[in-house]
Homo-oligomer: A and B are copies of this chain.
Amino acid sequence: ERSYTLTLLPGDGIGPEVVAVAKEVLSLTGSLEGIKFHFIEMPVGGSALDAVGVPLPDETLNTAKNSDAVLLGAIGGYKWDKNEKHLKPETGLLQLRDGLGVYANIRPAVVLPQLVDASTLKKEVAERVNLVIVRELTGGIYFGKPRGFGTNDNNEDIGFNTEKYSASEIDRIGRVGFEVARKRNGKLCSVDKANVLEASMLWRQRITMLASEYPDVELSHMYVDNAAMQLIRDPKQFDTIVTNNIFGDILSDEASMLTGSIGMLPSASIGESGPGLFEPIHGSAPDIAGQDKANPLATVLSAAMLLKYGLGEESAAKRIETAVIETLNRGFRTGDIFSSGTTLVGCKRMGEEVLKCV
């Protein structure tokens, strides 16, 4: 029997509800696949701020580092929105990504045939959209120094950040992009702003150099403003997109909304070695927290990514993915993906229905 230690970070808002469902799904899947999970739950984000005064306690980071994989719910909420930077829930998440060294964030945006009506795009544009965004996650303007506040020559307040990439940072995320594309349809689109930014010019140069190592992958380049348009004009043109941290933040949220069902979308963040971080792409949705209304499927699918990318347990991952599809086919929907003719259920009940199909 294989055995893994998983760190669960429920976080804030709907985080605890959706992680609770994913935990049960993981347990049952494990018992059917001969895998034993040891779960350790730790605080992060606003709940950590409330409990111990920092958004990422050392103990949380150490536990995460020493485990085989990390499953996060969501962080943030109105309550902490006005906190100073080092006391923001988001800062805890950034410290966690940085602390785990998970530089590659993999975000699929898939329009399921069962949910094509949920998209605000016309059916013929939305159907069969199936793309992955590979976002650099531990560099760029999110982490670049110098950063901060100051005054300029006129003695005025200024705020500043640094967008910075080194060749090796670009190369390692570029390789993940090529590898992901290779396992899909062999098309990689690198997104940058190389007509204006030096950081992007280096990006384009390095990605172009890498291409010779992946002759089976067709590489193209696109400016970020054009990419934001093309995702709406014709999202099916994309297979795999690789881009920097801030452009990836914006484009992956845009791409996820194309599907109309961000309550369904998982993500995986992985590094060179060490545990990966898996989380739904949706936020903490404080307005519906604690009301048993959240859609747990994005977190359940994040658990499937954890099994596949984090632990190499492909068969267990497949079992979860199939159970989710089956549950949708049986007509169960949370409020965010409900349409007439389907059965409206809450977070817990959705979990129970998935468990029946595992």
Contacts and interface: CB of A to CB of B under 8 A. Distances in A.
Nearest to A199: B159
Interface stretch (A22-30, A140-148, A182-190): A140-148
Interface in A255-282: 256-258, 260, 262
Contact of A232 (B76, B147, B203, B258): B258
A250 interface: yes
Contacts of A199: 159-161
Interface in A225-257: 225-226, 228-234, 246-247, 249-254, 256-257
A159 B203 contact: yes
Interface residues of A, number: 63
Contacts of A158: 164-167, 202
Contact of A257 (B90, B149, B162, B232): B232
A157 interface: yes
B141 A156 contact: no
B233 A120 contact: yes
A130 to B, nearest CB: 17
Contacts of A142: 196
Contact of A229 (B85, B230, B253): B253
A115 interface: no
A231 to B, nearest CB: 8
A94 interface: yes
Nearest to A152: B166
B159 A161 contact: no
B249 A225 contact: yes
Contacts of A88: 195
A211 B193 CA distance: 32
A99 B260 CA distance: 43
A85 B201 contact: yes
Contact of A253 (B225, B249, B252): B225
A356 to B, nearest CB: 32
Nearest to A233: B257
Interface in A90-104: 90, 94
Contacts of A257: 228-230, 232-233
A234 B260 CA distance: 11
A250 B232 contact: no
Interface centre among A125, A152, A160, A196 (most CB of B within 10 A): A196
14 contacts: A90-B196, A94-B196, A122-B122, A147-B197, A148-B198, A149-B202, A159-B199, A160-B162, A160-B164, A160-B198, A225-B250, A225-B253, A228-B254, A231-B254
Interface of A: 76, 85, 88, 90, 94, 120-122, 125, 141-142, 144, 147-149, 152, 154, 156-168, 193, 195-203, 224-226, 228-234, 246-247, 249-254, 256-258, 260, 262
Given A120-B234, A144-B160, 13 more contacts: A120-B232, A121-B232, A141-B197, A147-B197, A147-B198, A149-B202, A157-B166, A159-B165, A162-B162, A163-B163, A224-B250, A229-B253, A232-B232
